[in-house]
């Protein structure tokens, strides 16, 4: 039996545009998904997911070998999680040359599903690490990142960048542009505050929505390119540890994402609450449509303001997690 964990992430800059080759800077946060893989005597895969949500609501889920539930589960997100785990186990079988290996897989995650904090990437990264180690093979973090990307690419019908999976496997702040992925060193302390509306967005639908706009309107394509410009300026601000400039650029990034139709009423309300509380900046994080915003604030103001914001279900501080995937003792 091996348990591995991997962090969730926020996007400081660049979600959606990264799908079209623009750079992005996601940052790992100290909220992890843990996956325990236990070798079975047969070839079956059984998955149970404990507490997959932020608010402690517990869902028991068991999936059969083909990923179809043995029991009726109304949570489509949990079914989606099953799809990711199936593909992750396939990657572990491939990496170890053990196509017949069966597993019991247990998932425990402190990252809300589909809320922009990289829950699926964290589960996939941790699952590949745990399942390969359980078969006696230790992959390096780059290979886990690459295999986890193959999983997201397959499950999301080709609509995925390397950003979420690379960030979760490596930890810290990373820069992703197409296939070029690297960790950013000497990153300043980033006082992240996260607001969560209790909901989630459909990443596939949101990504195809942006793809459609970009194909139809030149100005939407320009908006995607403008996000790339914001990211490049953001990298300079990060290197200069200029938090005020980072905040301004986050505000700008949110506006551009809104223009692309991926914000929502509750995300906008939380962004405005953070700005009213004098956060240095705020934006949605991840695919959007619902879920989380990230603000930069080193005071208690934003967290308190978010707690009083209608539509905000939870607000919390999140430290940058410099550690990526790791095996748990
Ligand atoms: C989703 O977390 C981030 C997107 O940019 C999609 C991706 O990069 O795969 C919307």
The answer as to whether 326 is a domain residue is no
**To the nearest whole percent, how much of the chain has pLDDT over 90?**
80
The answer as to whether 133 is a domain residue is yes
Q: Are residues 240 and 302 in the same domain?
A: yes
Can 300 be counted among the known catalytic residues? no
The answer as to whether 19 is a domain residue is yes
Q: Are residues 205 and 62 in the same domain?
A: no
* Mean pLDDT for all residues in the chain: 91
Report the separation in Å between the CA atom of 43 and the middle of ligand 1, taken as the mean of its atom positions: 33
Strands 103-109, 45-49: pairing kind: parallel
pLDDT at residue 195 tops 70: yes
Report the separation in Å between the CA atom of 285 and the middle of ligand 1, taken as the mean of its atom positions: 9
Q: What distance lies between CA 145 and its chain's CA centroid? A: 13
Residue 16 CB less than 6 A away from ligand 1: yes
Asked if residue 224 lies in contact with residue 253, where contact means CB atoms within 8 angstroms, the answer is no
Cα 195–144–104 angle (5° rounding)? 85
Q: Are residues 171 and 197 in the same domain?
A: no
pLDDT at residue 80 tops 80: no
User: What is the span of the domain harbouring residue 28?
Assistant: 2-184
Q: What average pLDDT score do residues 100-107 get?
A: 92
CATH number of the structural domain spanning residue 137: 3.30.230.10
The answer as to whether 66 is a domain residue is yes
**Helix or strand or coil: residue 213?**
helix
Ligand 1 atom closest to 285 (CA): 2
Compute and round to an integer the Cα radius of gyration of the chain. 19
**Per-residue DSSP letter, 101:** -
Number of domains in the chain: 2
Look at the alpha carbons of 70, 75, 79, 84 in this order and tell me if their dihedral is positive or negative: negative
Report the separation in Å between the CA atom of 161 and the middle of ligand 1, taken as the mean of its atom positions: 6
State how far the Cα of 81 lies from the Cα of 78, in Å rounded to an integer.
Answer: 5
Reported as a single tens digit per residue, the pLDDT across 49-78 is 765 543 332 333 444 444 443 333 345 556
Q: Are residues 137 and 207 in the same domain?
A: no
Specify the pLDDT at position 63: 44
What's the Cα-to-Cα distance from 156 to each of 85, 124, 151, 206, 244, rounded to whole Å?
Answer: 13, 13, 8, 11, 36
Specify the pLDDT at position 69: 39
Q: Are residues 120 and 267 in the same domain?
A: no
Q: Are residues 203 and 162 in the same domain?
A: no
Reported as a single tens digit per residue, the pLDDT across 155-174 is 887 788 999 999 999 999 99
Q: Are residues 15 and 147 in the same domain?
A: yes
Residue 161 CB less than 6 A away from ligand 1: yes
State how far the Cα of 246 lies from the Cα of 230, in Å rounded to an integer.
Answer: 10
The answer as to whether 329 is a domain residue is no
The answer as to whether 220 is a domain residue is yes
Which of 9, 18, 152 best tests ligand 1's pocket when mutated (most atoms within 8 Å of CB)?
18
Q: Are residues 175 and 196 in the same domain?
A: no
Instruction: Look at 155 and 317; give whichever has higher pLDDT.
Output: 317
CATH number of the structural domain spanning residue 198: 3.30.70.890
Specify the pLDDT at position 62: 45
Residue 25 CB less than 6 A away from ligand 1: no
Specify the pLDDT at position 114: 85
Which of 19, 29, 206, 284 best tests ligand 1's pocket when mutated (most atoms within 8 Å of CB)?
19
End residue of a domain, out of 184, 206, 239: 184
Q: What average pLDDT score do residues 241-257 get?
A: 98
Cα 249–253–255 angle (5° rounding)? 115
State how far the Cα of 31 lies from the Cα of 85, in Å rounded to an integer.
Answer: 19
pLDDT at residue 322 tops 50: yes
Q: Which residues contact 51 (CB under 8 A, 6 or more apart)?
A: 57, 58, 59, 108, 109, 110
Specify the pLDDT at position 19: 96
Which of the following is catalytic: 164, 197, 297, 321? 164
Give helix 243-259 / helix 265-276 axis angle, nearest 10°: 160
Specify the pLDDT at position 155: 87
Report the separation in Å between the CA atom of 297 and the middle of ligand 1, taken as the mean of its atom positions: 24
Q: Are residues 178 and 197 in the same domain?
A: no
End residue of a domain, out of 184, 211, 229: 184
The answer as to whether 323 is a domain residue is no
End residue of a domain, out of 168, 184, 200: 184
* Phi, psi dihedral angles at 317 (to 5 degrees): -85, 145
Q: Are residues 267 and 176 in the same domain?
A: no
Q: Are residues 86 and 209 in the same domain?
A: no
pLDDT at residue 100 tops 80: yes
Q: Are residues 201 and 97 in the same domain?
A: no
Asked if residue 145 lies in contact with residue 162, where contact means CB atoms within 8 angstroms, the answer is yes
The answer as to whether 325 is a domain residue is no
State how far the Cα of 191 lies from the Cα of 198, in Å rounded to an integer.
Answer: 22
How large is the ipTM? Answer: 0.98
Q: Which residues contact 199 (CB under 8 A, 6 or more apart)?
A: 115, 264, 266, 290, 291
Output the six-digit token pair for 245. Answer: 């400039």
């Amino acid at each position: 039996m091996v348990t591995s964990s991997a962090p969730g992430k926020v996007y400081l800059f660049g979600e959606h545009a990264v799908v079209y080759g623009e750079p992005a800077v996601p940052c790992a946060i100290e909220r992890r998904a843990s996956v325990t893989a236990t070798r079975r005597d047969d070839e079956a895969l059984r998955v149970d997911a404990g507490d997959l949500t932020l608010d402690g609501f517990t869902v028991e889920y068991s999936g059969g070998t083909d990923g179809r539930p043995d029991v009726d589960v109304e949570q489509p997100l949990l079914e989606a999680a099953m799809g990711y785990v199936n593909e992750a186990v396939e990657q572990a079988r491939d990496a170890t040359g053990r196509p017949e290996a069966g597993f019991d897989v247990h998932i425990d995650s402190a990252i809300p599903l589909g809320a922009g904090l990289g829950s699926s990437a964290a589960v996939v990264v941790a699952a590949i690490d745990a399942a390969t180690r359980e078969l006696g093979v230790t992959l390096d973090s780059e290979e886990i990142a690459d295999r986890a990307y193959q999983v997201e690419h397959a499950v999301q019908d080709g609509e995925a960048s390397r950003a979420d999976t690379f960030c979760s496997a490596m930890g810290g702040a990373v820069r992703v542009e197409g296939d070029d992925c690297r960790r950013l060193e000497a990153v300043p302390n980033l006082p992240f505050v996260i607001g969560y509306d209790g909901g989630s967005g459909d990443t596939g639908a949101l990504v195809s929505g942006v793809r459609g706009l970009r194909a139809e309107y030149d100005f939407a394509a320009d908006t995607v390119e403008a996000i790339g410009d914001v990211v490049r300026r953001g990298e300079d601000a990060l290197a200069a540890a200029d938090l005020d400039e980072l905040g301004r650029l986050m505000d700008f990034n949110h506006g551009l994402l809104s223009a692309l139709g991926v914000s929502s009423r509750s995300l906008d309300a939380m962004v405005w609450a953070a700005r009213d509380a004098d956060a240095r900046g705020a934006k949605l994080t991840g695919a959007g449509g619902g879920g989380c915003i990230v603000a930069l604030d080193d005071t208690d103001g934003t967290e308190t303001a978010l707690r009083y914001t209608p539509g905000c279900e939870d607000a919390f501080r999140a430290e940058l997690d410099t550690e990526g995937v790791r095996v748990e003792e």
